[in-house]
Protein backbone atom coordinates (compact mmCIF):
# COMPACT_ATOMS: atom_id res chain seq x y z
CA UNK A 1 0.00 0.00 0.00
CA UNK A 2 2.97 2.37 0.15
CA UNK A 3 2.58 3.96 -3.28
CA UNK A 4 -0.78 4.44 -4.93
CA UNK A 5 -1.24 4.24 -8.67
CA UNK A 6 -0.68 7.54 -10.44
CA UNK A 7 -3.61 6.85 -12.79
CA UNK A 8 -6.07 9.73 -12.67
CA UNK A 9 -3.74 12.09 -10.81
CA UNK A 10 -2.85 15.58 -11.98
CA UNK A 11 0.41 16.14 -13.82
CA UNK A 12 1.84 17.82 -10.69
CA UNK A 13 1.02 14.77 -8.55
CA UNK A 14 2.46 12.39 -11.15
CA UNK A 15 5.59 14.55 -11.33
CA UNK A 16 6.05 14.35 -7.55
CA UNK A 17 5.65 10.57 -7.67
CA UNK A 18 8.26 10.43 -10.44
CA UNK A 19 10.67 12.67 -8.48
CA UNK A 20 10.29 10.50 -5.39
CA UNK A 21 10.75 7.25 -7.31
CA UNK A 22 13.77 8.72 -9.06
CA UNK A 23 15.29 9.73 -5.71
CA UNK A 24 15.02 6.16 -4.40
CA UNK A 25 16.29 4.54 -7.58
CA UNK A 26 19.14 6.96 -8.33
CA UNK A 27 20.76 7.41 -4.92
CA UNK A 28 22.62 4.38 -3.54
CA UNK A 29 21.68 3.41 -0.01
CA UNK A 30 18.24 5.02 0.16
CA UNK A 31 15.84 2.54 1.71
CA UNK A 32 12.61 4.54 1.80
CA UNK A 33 11.28 8.06 1.44
CA UNK A 34 8.21 9.85 2.80
CA UNK A 35 6.74 13.30 2.29
CA UNK A 36 4.73 14.42 5.32
CA UNK A 37 2.42 17.43 5.57
CA UNK A 38 2.99 20.11 8.19
CA UNK A 39 0.23 18.51 10.28
CA UNK A 40 1.92 15.09 10.20
CA UNK A 41 -0.10 13.33 7.50
CA UNK A 42 1.64 11.09 4.99
CA UNK A 43 1.32 12.61 1.51
CA UNK A 44 3.69 10.53 -0.58
CA UNK A 45 5.94 7.55 0.02
CA UNK A 46 8.28 5.33 -1.89
CA UNK A 47 7.06 2.02 -3.27
CA UNK A 48 8.50 -0.83 -1.15
CA UNK A 49 8.53 -3.28 -4.09
CA UNK A 50 10.51 -0.87 -6.27
CA UNK A 51 12.88 -0.19 -3.38
CA UNK A 52 13.61 -3.92 -3.09
CA UNK A 53 14.25 -4.19 -6.85
CA UNK A 54 16.55 -1.15 -6.85
CA UNK A 55 18.45 -2.45 -3.81
CA UNK A 56 18.92 -5.85 -5.41
CA UNK A 57 20.19 -4.21 -8.62
CA UNK A 58 22.73 -2.22 -6.57
CA UNK A 59 23.54 -5.17 -4.26
CA UNK A 60 22.59 -3.11 -1.18
CA UNK A 61 21.75 -4.90 2.06
CA UNK A 62 17.97 -5.07 2.64
CA UNK A 63 17.98 -2.96 5.79
CA UNK A 64 14.82 -0.92 5.23
CA UNK A 65 12.58 0.28 8.01
CA UNK A 66 10.92 -2.58 9.83
CA UNK A 67 7.53 -0.86 9.69
CA UNK A 68 5.30 0.73 7.14
CA UNK A 69 5.52 4.05 5.33
CA UNK A 70 3.13 5.37 7.98
CA UNK A 71 5.78 4.52 10.61
CA UNK A 72 8.41 6.49 8.68
CA UNK A 73 5.96 9.39 8.36
CA UNK A 74 5.33 9.35 12.11
CA UNK A 75 9.06 9.39 12.86
CA UNK A 76 9.71 12.18 10.34
CA UNK A 77 6.85 14.25 11.74
CA UNK A 78 8.06 13.76 15.31
CA UNK A 79 11.67 14.66 14.54
CA UNK A 80 10.51 17.65 12.53
CA UNK A 81 8.32 18.88 15.36
CA UNK A 82 11.07 18.39 17.94
CA UNK A 83 13.69 20.27 15.92
CA UNK A 84 11.32 23.12 15.06
CA UNK A 85 10.53 23.49 18.77
CA UNK A 86 14.24 23.44 19.65
CA UNK A 87 15.02 26.09 17.03
CA UNK A 88 12.26 28.35 18.39
CA UNK A 89 13.44 27.85 21.96
CA UNK A 90 17.04 28.62 20.98
CA UNK A 91 15.96 31.47 18.67
CA UNK A 92 18.13 30.17 15.83
CA UNK A 93 15.63 30.57 13.00
CA UNK A 94 14.04 27.85 10.90
CA UNK A 95 15.23 24.27 10.63
CA UNK A 96 16.65 23.39 7.22
CA UNK A 97 17.55 19.75 7.75
CA UNK A 98 18.22 17.14 10.41
CA UNK A 99 20.44 14.07 10.13
CA UNK A 100 20.46 11.17 12.56
CA UNK A 101 23.30 8.68 12.18
CA UNK A 102 22.69 5.25 13.70
CA UNK A 103 24.82 2.10 13.80
CA UNK A 104 23.00 0.48 10.91
CA UNK A 105 21.44 3.37 9.03
CA UNK A 106 20.65 7.05 8.83
CA UNK A 107 17.57 9.21 8.91
CA UNK A 108 17.38 12.54 7.12
CA UNK A 109 14.61 15.11 7.49
CA UNK A 110 14.48 18.23 5.32
CA UNK A 111 11.95 21.06 5.39
CA UNK A 112 9.93 21.84 2.28
CA UNK A 113 8.89 25.46 1.73
CA UNK A 114 5.21 24.90 2.63
CA UNK A 115 6.02 23.36 6.04
CA UNK A 116 5.91 19.79 4.77
CA UNK A 117 8.86 17.50 5.45
CA UNK A 118 10.88 15.14 3.30
CA UNK A 119 12.17 12.13 5.22
CA UNK A 120 14.71 9.62 3.96
CA UNK A 121 15.83 6.39 5.59
CA UNK A 122 19.27 5.36 4.37
CA UNK A 123 21.44 2.30 4.86
CA UNK A 124 24.66 2.42 6.89
CA UNK A 125 26.60 2.48 3.61
CA UNK A 126 24.89 5.54 2.14
CA UNK A 127 26.94 8.67 1.57
CA UNK A 128 25.24 11.29 3.75
CA UNK A 129 26.40 14.20 1.62
CA UNK A 130 25.06 12.60 -1.57
CA UNK A 131 21.70 11.87 0.08
CA UNK A 132 21.47 15.43 1.44
CA UNK A 133 22.33 16.88 -1.98
CA UNK A 134 19.64 14.85 -3.76
CA UNK A 135 17.11 15.67 -1.04
CA UNK A 136 17.83 19.37 -1.59
CA UNK A 137 17.22 18.88 -5.32
CA UNK A 138 13.89 17.18 -4.56
CA UNK A 139 12.87 19.96 -2.18
CA UNK A 140 13.83 22.61 -4.74
CA UNK A 141 11.75 20.93 -7.41
CA UNK A 142 8.79 19.95 -5.23
CA UNK A 143 8.49 22.89 -2.86
CA UNK A 144 6.87 25.33 -5.26
CA UNK A 145 4.23 22.87 -6.51
CA UNK A 146 3.09 21.49 -3.13
CA UNK A 147 -0.01 23.66 -2.97
CA UNK A 148 -2.93 23.01 -0.60
CA UNK A 149 -4.84 21.54 -3.56
CA UNK A 150 -2.01 19.16 -4.44
CA UNK A 151 -1.56 18.10 -0.80
CA UNK A 152 -5.28 17.30 -0.68
CA UNK A 153 -5.07 15.31 -3.92
CA UNK A 154 -2.06 13.31 -2.67
CA UNK A 155 -3.76 12.60 0.66
CA UNK A 156 -6.95 11.42 -1.07
CA UNK A 157 -4.96 9.15 -3.40
CA UNK A 158 -3.31 7.50 -0.37
CA UNK A 159 -6.71 7.05 1.32
CA UNK A 160 -8.12 5.51 -1.85
CA UNK A 161 -5.15 3.14 -2.17
CA UNK A 162 -5.48 2.20 1.51
CA UNK A 163 -9.19 1.50 1.17
CA UNK A 164 -8.51 -0.62 -1.92
CA UNK A 165 -5.86 -2.70 -0.16
CA UNK A 166 -8.13 -3.59 2.76
CA UNK A 167 -10.82 -5.13 0.58
pTM higher than 0.85: no
**Segments of the chain with pLDDT less than 50:** 1-4, 49-55, 58, 62-66, 167
Residue 59 Cα distances to 48, 52, 122, 124, angstroms: 16, 10, 14, 14
**Over the stretch 114-151, which tens digit does the pLDDT of each residue have?**
789 999 999 999 999 999 999 999 999 888 888 888 88
Residue 121, helix vs strand vs coil: strand
Fold of 11-165: Beta-Lactamase (3.30.450)
Amino acid sequence: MTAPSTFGLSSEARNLHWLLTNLVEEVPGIQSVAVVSSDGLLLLSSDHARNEEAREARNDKPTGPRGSSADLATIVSGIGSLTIGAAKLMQFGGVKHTMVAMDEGSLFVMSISDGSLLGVHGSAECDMSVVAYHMALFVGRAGHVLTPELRSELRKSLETASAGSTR
